[in-house]
Amino acid sequence: MSLQHPIARVRGLGSAKNGTHHWWVQRLTAVALALLTPWFIWLALCMVGADAFTVRATLAQPLNAVLMLAFVFSLFWHARLGLQVVIEDYIHTPWLEVTLQVFVMFACALAALASAIAIGRIVFTG
């Protein structure tokens, strides 16, 4: 039993003032994905049975390349934010939580970078 007042125990443990930003970014990426996913599914279905040249030519069109980049970046950013919340909520070992957070951050960044490079190679090489 502690003689310390409850306010004294929690002082300094309050809001980090970034929860609202995280919430908004997660919602904005969700809206972006809700708009871009039907386009991506439509594009993928149109490419069923197409040869590699046709697929590359379609993805090399400026509008399709920009939309694909937006889809990829929104997807990995949204995934990182969602996994961050899951790790914060369910992993209670401090060293494991930090390790997983760093791993998720680097994995999503590397995957987004690799995707951007792949899209760039499709667009800028013939």
Q: Alpha-carbon distance 62 to 122, whole Å?
A: 11
Q: Of 78, 71, 80, 76, give the one whose Cα is nearest residue 38.
A: 71
Q: pTM, whole model, 2 decimals?
A: 0.82
| Model pLDDT, residue 105 | 97
From first to last of its 126 residues, the chain has per-residue pLDDT tens of 667 777 766 666 666 667 789 999 999 999 999 999 999 999 999 999 999 999 999 999 999 999 999 999 999 999 999 999 999 999 999 999 999 999 999 999 999 999 999 999 999 986
Secondary structure of the chain as H, E, C letters: CCCCCHHHHHCCCCCCCCHHHHHHHHHHHHHHHHHHHHHHHHHHHHCCCCCHHHHHHHHHCHHHHHHHHHHHHHHHHHHHHHHHHHHHHHCCCHHHHHHHHHHHHHHHHHHHHHHHHHHHHHHHCC
Indicate the class that CATH gives domain 6-124.
mainly alpha
Q: Alpha-carbon distance 9 to 5, whole Å?
A: 7
Q: Alpha-carbon distance 20 to 28, whole Å?
A: 12
Note whether 26 and 80 are within 8 A (CB).
no
Residue ranges of domains in the chain: 6-124
Tokens found for residue 48 = 């069923």
